[in-house]
Amino acid sequence: MADMIAVAMPKWGLEMTEGTVVKIHVAEGDTVAKGQTIMDIETEKIANEFEAEEGGVIKKIIAAEGDVKIIGDLLAIIGPADVSDADVEEFVGSYVSVAVGRVEATTAAAPAPAAAPAASSAPAADDSGVKASPPAKRLARKLDIDIALVTGTGRGGRISADDVQAFADAGGAAAAAPAAEAAPAAPAGEVRATPGAKRLAKELGIDIATVVGSGRGGRISKEDVEASGASAGADTGSYGSTPVTAAPAPAAQVIPGDNAVTVEAMNGMRKTIAKRLTESKQNVPHFYLSVDIELDRLLARRQKVNAAGDVKVSVNDFIIRAAGLALKAVPKANVQYHGDELHYFENADISIAVAIEGGLITPIVRAANLKSVQQIATEVKDLAARARDNKLKLDEIQGGSFSISNLGMFGIKNFDAVINPPQGAILAVGAGEERLVAKNGAPAIATVMSVTMSCDHRAIDGALGAQFLASFKELLEEPLALVV
């Protein structure tokens, strides 16, 4: 018992509350090494490889592909080869999630569930005697449900968060109905489905009780609901967004008519982008500063750098390097806004916007002020490639003290970008193009690039933003400092 290891849903990032098991790479009986990938777990933004913390034999797999699990929920068991099935079952039955992001199992058997009261006028004050998972107890308290009235579908009648949610969805409440009335009000065993499946069924107008589940014990997943909706011609005319994670959206539905409409459900990434940027525009007091920058000296310098070395650098790599040095020169612009606090950073961790299928992601070049333009070029190529392959790690997209969005390669002359909170600013970069300019009182042709800095006025005022842009402009127009 003591040598067995609980593999539980991890917590990756402050905002993560649940994850989807996208793919399981191992089978029961497989021997795994420490650090070996055993599952792919998907959060709002990315799919992450989940590695074994210790080596051993996969004694049991509890989760199924497509399952949405709350932080700390049990996914699998790793143990010695000679552990009996009975010991594994005892371990599973005694598992307790003791903290968000850290889990362990007790070796003592869990207490038997307390008998449901004959009548109750308030939620049970003490749920310690009920055989239920900690997430189930937290959810019951949140929903004001007497958990003793909930029928558990787990091993030995253990109550899960899904059971509590099913009880609540069926109209159950802690207020109480007498036990005789409460029993039929908790049909948790009738429909077993993941939270994501329930939400998707509700949005598509599908009776989840009619869906055939493909998971263990007939549990219904999002994919089962999607398949049911496709076969039954579910009404998607509400334009609802369906998946809860960054999984591919269901196939587009075509509504015929004089002007046929193709309805494509938003994937989890697009939903997250929509939510966060809407909040940013509504809650962050944006203001904008623009400047034109001549690039001819920079282009000449870039040509020399590329001719002299094996690493080919782009104009964008110089822009990242210049932004890092400008943030170091004007450190008050290297800021995040956190309510009553402003967080100023020693180094410039620059988020770069990368367009990928289904949305946008912002991997981070850490300490860009300390890296050469060649190092930045190598790192950006790697980050962009792994972003498009969905292989970035959480710590590679979380944080950042400043953002750059470059649409110049698409021919966009100038634009205003939306700030990525809690960062204090984002720089929108347009295309370099030949323009007629005045030099020494005479007309001349120069390659000019327009950039616009969106600032959070709570953290950066106009004068501070202007100082940053002045430093940034000087570095690009006199680029020697960018290559030393």
pLDDT of residue 250: 52
Quick one: what percent of the chain has pLDDT higher than 90? 43
Question: Does the pLDDT of residue 365 top 90, yes or no?
Answer: yes
pLDDT for residue 155 = 65
Give the Cα separation of 473 and 282 in Å (integer).
30
Q: Return the pLDDT at 189.
A: 43
Amino acid at 175: A
How distant, in Å, are the alpha carbons of 76, 78, 79, 155 from that of 29?
12, 10, 10, 21
> What are the structure tokens assigned to 69, written together?
């699990």
Does residue 180 lie within any of the structural domains?
A: no
Closest CA to 417 of 363, 471, 321, 352: 352
How far apart are the C-alpha atoms of 414 and 314, rounded to whole Å? 19
pLDDT of residue 121: 37
Residue 82 is assigned to a structural domain of this protein? yes
Question: Residue 261 above 90 pLDDT?
Answer: yes
Number of domains in the chain: 3
Q: What are phi and psi of 49, to 5 degrees?
A: -75, 130
Count the alpha carbons within 13 Å of 15 in the hemisphere toward its beta carbon: 9
Do residues 223 and 248 make contact, with C-beta atoms less than 8 angstroms apart? Answer: no
Mean pLDDT of 408-423: 94
Strands (E), 330-478: 335-338, 341-344, 350-352, 354-356, 359-361, 364-365, 402-406, 425-439, 442-456
- Which pLDDT tens digit goes with each residue over 119-173? 333 333 356 667 777 777 777 777 778 888 888 877 667 787 777 777 876 665 4
User: What is the share, in percent, of the chain residues with pLDDT greater than 70?
Assistant: 76
Position 122 scores a pLDDT of 38
User: Would you say residue 334 lies in a domain?
Assistant: yes
Q: What is the pLDDT of residue 236?
A: 28
Say if residue 381 is in the same domain as residue 457: yes
Average pLDDT, stretch 442-446? 96
The single-letter DSSP state of residue 348 is -
Residue 302 sits in the same domain as residue 439? yes
- The average confidence (pLDDT) of the chain is 80
Residue 358: per-residue pLDDT: 72
* CB neighbour class for 184 (10 Å; exposed up to 12, middle 13-18, buried from 19): exposed
Looking at 130-144, 188-202, 242-256, 275-289, which range is the least confident one?
242-256
**In terms of pLDDT, which residue wins out, 390 or 29?**
29
User: Does residue 314 sit in the same domain as residue 431?
Assistant: yes
Q: What is the pLDDT of residue 299?
A: 96
Cβ–Cβ under 8 Å, residues 233 and 197: no
- Confidence class of residue 416 from pLDDT cuts 50, 70 and 90? very high
- For residue 102, pLDDT over 70 is answered with no
Judge whether 265 lies within some domain: yes
Q: Is 118 among the domain residues?
A: no
Give the pLDDT confidence score for residue 251 in this predicted structure. Answer: 64
Pair 435, 331 in one domain: yes
204-222 pLDDT tens trace = 667 777 777 765 556 677 6
Residue 461 — pLDDT band, cuts 50, 70, 90? very high
CATH number of the CATH domain containing 74? 2.40.50.100
pTM for the model stands at 0.57
Read off the tokens for 341: 């606090």
pLDDT band at 83 (very low <50, low <70, confident <90, very high): confident
274: left (phi over 0), alpha (psi -120 to 50) or beta: alpha
Average confidence (pLDDT) over 386-395: 82
Say yes or no: 79 and 201 in one domain: no
Structure-model confidence comparison of residues 230 and 87, the more confident one: 87
Per 3-state DSSP, the chain is made up of helix, strand and coil in percentages (nearest 5) of: 35, 25, 40
Neighbouring-strand partners of residue 70: 18
Active site (catalytic) residues = 457
Question: Is 300 a domain residue?
Answer: yes
User: Would you call the peptide bond into 125 cis, given omega within 30 degrees of 0 as the criterion?
Assistant: no
What residues contact residue 121 under an 8 Å CB cut-off, 6+ apart? 175, 176
pLDDT tens, position by position, 52-81: 888 999 999 999 988 888 888 899 999 998
Interval 396-409: pLDDT, tens:
888 899 999 999 99
Q: Are residues 294 and 369 in the same domain?
A: yes
**Amino acid sitting at position 114:** A
Do 290 and 243 belong together in one domain?
no
Over residues 8-25, mean pLDDT? 81
pLDDT of residue 110: 38
Retrieve residue 325's tokens.
Answer: 């040095």
Number of CB atoms found within 10 A of residue 185's CB: 15
Confidence (pLDDT) at 477: 96
Task: Quickly tell me which residue has 């500063």 as its tokens.
Answer: 289
Q: What pLDDT is stored for residue 123 in this prediction?
A: 38
Dihedral sign (CA 204, 205, 209, 210):
negative
Closest CA to 425 of 474, 469, 368, 383: 469
Phi, psi (deg, nearest 5) at residue 196: -65, -40
Tell me the residue range of the domain where 263 lies. 195-270
Same domain, yes or no: 263 and 301: no
Residue 186: pLDDT above 60?
no
Instruction: Calculate the alpha carbon distances from 97 to 6, 197, 327 in Å.
Output: 10, 24, 43
**Helix (H) / strand (E) containing 24:** strand 18-24
163 occurs within a structural domain:
no
DSSP state of 321: H
